[in-house]
Amino acid sequence: MIPIKDYPGPRRSIPWITWGLILINIVVFLYQVSLGSATDQFVFAYAVVPVALVHGVPQTDLVRNSAQLLFHTPNPVYLTLLTSMFMHAGWLHIGGNMLFLYIFGDNVEDRMGHLAYLVFYLICGIVASIAQILIDPTSQIPSLGASGAIAGVLASYLLLFPWAKVRTVIFIFIFFTIVTLPSFVLIGLWFVLQFFDGIAALATVQQDMGGVAYFAHVGGFLTGLVLTLILRPFMRPPAQDSYPAFPRHPSINQPARWW
């Protein structure tokens, strides 16, 4: 399921933080891609490596021939909890994350306020990384991406705009169609999939193989729920009491198309 537009009601402010976060992620990723063969060294230096954080030792001290590395883990190594959330593993990774942040982040920022939203985003990302570390503290596989922080944004959106309409692309094998779903259905299904995929991926974790950090998503989402419940009494009220009627688009009711 890929969201392409939401209708939660009007914003009252420009989402400078959301746009800024998207810009920083894109700039870092383009720099990362430009490194060529040195990309892996950059990733190991600034991504979260569970075993490095557990021991408080920079990853470069745990790698043989570290003198040959072009990049060195920040000291203290715990700074990678921040740097890792602005890095991505590929074009699809950053594209999907930035799409979700663009669609859902602006209205959460509008309700929270710019500074509170930024702090909220960073806390969700940090806790998400810690959750993944707890699952496999001896792993030497780097964990990176904004997914954990964005999971927290999704949780907040779920609580603040549960009935907002979201236009969503749904793929069924080689077919796709566009449907309109309440946000609580779309985001709720997303979380359920992350949770059960995480349970299924535990066998992969035991084999010390890479993959999606599902428990980072779960940790970020739960953190977002808790923080939103705490902050909700201090947030600005919604811009309007009811959600706008979803505009009619002829394509919505058309049969599924070939992709």
- Alpha-carbon 64 to chain mean position: 32
Contact 45, 87 (CB under 8 A): no
Q: What is the set of active-site residues?
A: 147, 217
